[in-house]
């Protein structure tokens, strides 16, 4: 559970509907030794995969690094953080 000191952030990812896209996103969290609070994925129109990953207690620098690494992964169209 997030305490009042930590904020909850959501990584929004848009990817091609590639079967490996979700694993590529989650791999970035595993490599950073971060356990997400929640993960959601849904295939939308035009074969676009929408992924949401919720985390809390991370520094802004770590959030930025994870998003940058996710953006570099194959089949990822965009990735960005926002406060929930």
**What pLDDT shows up at residue 3?**
53
Residue 57 is assigned to a structural domain of this protein: yes
Q: CB–CB of 52/39 below 8 Å?
A: yes
Identify whether 3 is part of a domain.
Answer: no
66: in domain: yes
Between CA 60 and CA 73 the distance in angstroms is 21
Which range of residues forms the domain containing residue 36?
Answer: 19-83
35 within some domain = yes
As for how many domains the chain has, the answer is 1
> What pLDDT was estimated at residue 80?
97
The whole-number mean pLDDT for each consecutive block of 10 residues of the chain, a chain of 84 residues, reads 72 96 97 96 94 95 95 96 94
């Amino acid at each position: 559970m997030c305490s009042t000191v930590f904020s909850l952030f959501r990584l929004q990812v848009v990817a091609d509907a590639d079967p490996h896209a979700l694993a590529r996103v989650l791999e970035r969290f595993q490599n950073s030794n971060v356990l997400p609070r929640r993960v959601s994925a849904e295939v939308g129109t035009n074969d676009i995969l929408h992924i949401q990953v919720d985390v809390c207690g991370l520094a802004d620098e770590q959030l930025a690094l994870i998003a940058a690494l996710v953006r570099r992964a194959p089949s990822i169209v965009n990735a960005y953080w926002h406060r929930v």
